[in-house]
Amino acid sequence: MTHTTMAELVSTEPATGAILWRGAIGDADTEVAAARGAWAGWASRPLTFRIEALRRFANVVRARSEAFADLIARETGKPLWEARTEVDTVIAKVEISITAYGERTSQRRLDSPGNSRMALRHKPHGVLAVLGPYNFPAHLPNGHIVPALIAGNAVVFKPSEKTPASGAFLIDCYRAAGIPDGCVRLLIGGADEGRALAGHSDIDGLLFTGSARTGIALNRQFAETPDKILALEMGGNNPIVVWDSPDIYSAAVLVVQSAFTSAGQRCTAARRLIVDRRLADPLLRAIDELCGRLVIGEPHASPAPFMGPVIDNDAADVLTESFLTLSARGGRPLRHMERLVEGRPFLTPGIIDMSDTTDRVDVELFGPLLQLFRADTFEDAIAEANNTRYGLSASLISQDPKLYDGFWANIRAGIVNWNRPTNGASSAAPFGGIGWSGNHRPSAYYAADYCAYPVVSAEADQARASIGIGLRDG
């Protein structure tokens, strides 16, 4: 949780309310100007130089990994084991991005007629703004920053106002690795600073991870600037479908992992469980039993918790109110969402049966809240799964390969899994969705695509030309 004074941003621990970090609010003009002054020099360096600099960054993070994980855990409330996993992904991102750059944006020679040759190369855009989310305050922005730097861009990074300490730590690691100060700039602030950065006339593009509402506003804003790259990674109202699955316990585990890992604060978290009506009751009993055993606690608790609090009390209030709203719309509570600690945002998983409602709400409820829909046929299940404007992640739990073939062919999502959770995507693969989940610029392995643009050159050592038709005799 954060609050601001006239010139300062203060971050507190969601689990305890203790002040964790405070820092001065920055100025977008200053940070963009610094990046603008530095990017050409960085871009002119050989690719091997930039790659080695990023490898030093990975080594710095590796050396500081425990301190980094501790900070992330305290600032987000996520369990320490999960924060350590996030730091590991920050380190791994460097080698993955190096490989991706070589594969996706490498220099090539193309076939060309006559004595000429055709060359394909890539250039950086210039200064790229990065707006990061709070749920993975290091991994997700780093997934933009590393490939942007490898390609030769300079970056201005504004972390979420809810997790500024983690953002500042990340940038300090770049500094310690010898990345030039002007090439990676940190902008501390809230919504005003974010708007100033996104709308700045001197950036060449914006790489965004966050809510659909903000992403759609950015899409409208950038409609008048087609010269600037815009990559949107937004949320999802993700379905997990359980059909023809005799192993009820494993299905229940996959549902719980999908819906409640990270306290449901993942863009790929399952928001809707769609199940064969005949399997619904035994599956729900198994899910309920598992939920009752989940350890919910502060990040460093022993035994290690499965999940911690949501990010702040405002988020917790929205979720509990959303549960009540769904009930008022005809939903039948199966597992009530409860506040465990007065004044702190610890929530128990909430499950509500929306099968008999016609007034569906197509929103991303970013937390441990799962809606249930019972279906009579598999075709009905797919139709219900596609009944959303989003299209990020979807999963089928089934023993029937033919059902998966039909699911894969008909589901609208950028990530389609089989007998795996909806979340936990690999950085070695593209990551993105359709509809309100993104603008067809997938990140992770494909981030290289939006961090540089292709330049095709027809080249010859000498100028030799003639006009063979259409000339009068001389």
User: What are the tens digits of pLDDT across the range 43-99?
Assistant: 999 999 999 999 999 999 999 999 999 999 999 999 999 999 999 999 999 999 999
Same domain flag for 8 and 151: yes
How far apart, in whole angstroms, are the C-alpha atoms of residue 474 and residue 465?
17
pLDDT value at residue 319: 98
Q: Whole domain around residue 363: which residue ranges?
A: 238-418
Same domain flag for 390 and 442: no
pLDDT value at residue 232: 97
Same domain flag for 317 and 337: yes
**Exposure class string for 142-167: b at 16+ Cβ within 10 A, else e:** bbbbbbbbbbbbbbbbbbbbbbbbbb
Same domain flag for 390 and 454: no
What share of the chain has pLDDT > 90, as a percent? 92
User: Is it the case that residue 15 has pLDDT exceeding 80?
Assistant: yes
What share of the chain has pLDDT > 70, as a percent? 98
Same domain flag for 228 and 264: no
- Residue identified by tokens 């507190």 is 12
**Residue 425 included in any domain:** no
pLDDT value at residue 117: 86
Same domain flag for 173 and 322: no
Q: Calculate mean pLDDT across residues 4-23.
A: 90
How far apart, in whole angstroms, are the C-alpha atoms of residue 29 and residue 46?
29
Same domain flag for 173 and 260: no
Domain count within the chain: 2
Q: How sure is the predictor about 460, in pLDDT bands with cuts at 50, 70 and 90?
A: confident
- Residue identified by tokens 């409208």 is 220
Chain mean pLDDT for the chain: 95
Same domain flag for 261 and 156: no
Q: How sure is the predictor about 114, in pLDDT bands with cuts at 50, 70 and 90?
A: low
pLDDT value at residue 202: 98
Long-range contacts of the stretch 459-465 (C-beta < 8 A, 24+): 459/116, 459/117, 459/118, 459/119, 460/114, 460/115, 460/116, 460/117, 461/115, 464/115
pLDDT in tens, 305-326: 999 999 999 999 999 999 999 9
Domain boundary among the residues 418, 449, 468 is at 418
User: Is it the case that residue 112 has pLDDT exceeding 80?
Assistant: no
How far apart, in whole angstroms, are the C-alpha atoms of residue 335 and residue 67?
37
Residues 6 or more apart in contact with residue 430 via CB below 8 angstroms: 414, 442, 443, 444, 445, 446
Which CATH number belongs to the domain containing residue 378 in this structure?
Answer: 3.40.309.10
pLDDT value at residue 2: 58
User: Is it the case that residue 7 has pLDDT exceeding 70?
Assistant: yes
**Residue 202 included in any domain:** yes
Structure tokens at 129: 């703004």
**Residue 18 included in any domain:** yes
Catalytic residue among 183, 267, 291, 451: 267
Residue 233 a catalytic site member: yes
User: Is it the case that residue 290 has pLDDT exceeding 60?
Assistant: yes
Same domain flag for 225 and 247: no
pLDDT value at residue 424: 85
**pTM of the predicted model, to two decimals?**
0.95
How far apart, in whole angstroms, are the C-alpha atoms of residue 355 and residue 387?
13
User: Is it the case that residue 168 has pLDDT exceeding 80?
Assistant: yes
Same domain flag for 291 and 349: yes
User: Is it the case that residue 405 has pLDDT exceeding 70?
Assistant: yes
pLDDT value at residue 86: 98
Amino acid at the residue 153: N
Amino acid at the residue 405: D
**Residue 463 included in any domain:** no
At 20, which helix (H) or strand (E)?
strand 19-24
At 54, which helix (H) or strand (E)?
helix 47-63
Residue 75 a catalytic site member: no
Catalytic residue among 233, 298, 364, 384: 233
Q: How sure is the predictor about 377, in pLDDT bands with cuts at 50, 70 and 90?
A: very high
pLDDT value at residue 5: 52
Same domain flag for 228 and 306: no
Same domain flag for 298 and 391: yes
pLDDT in tens, 214-261: 999 999 999 999 999 999 999 999 999 999 999 999 999 999 999 999
How far apart, in whole angstroms, are the C-alpha atoms of residue 27 and residue 188?
8
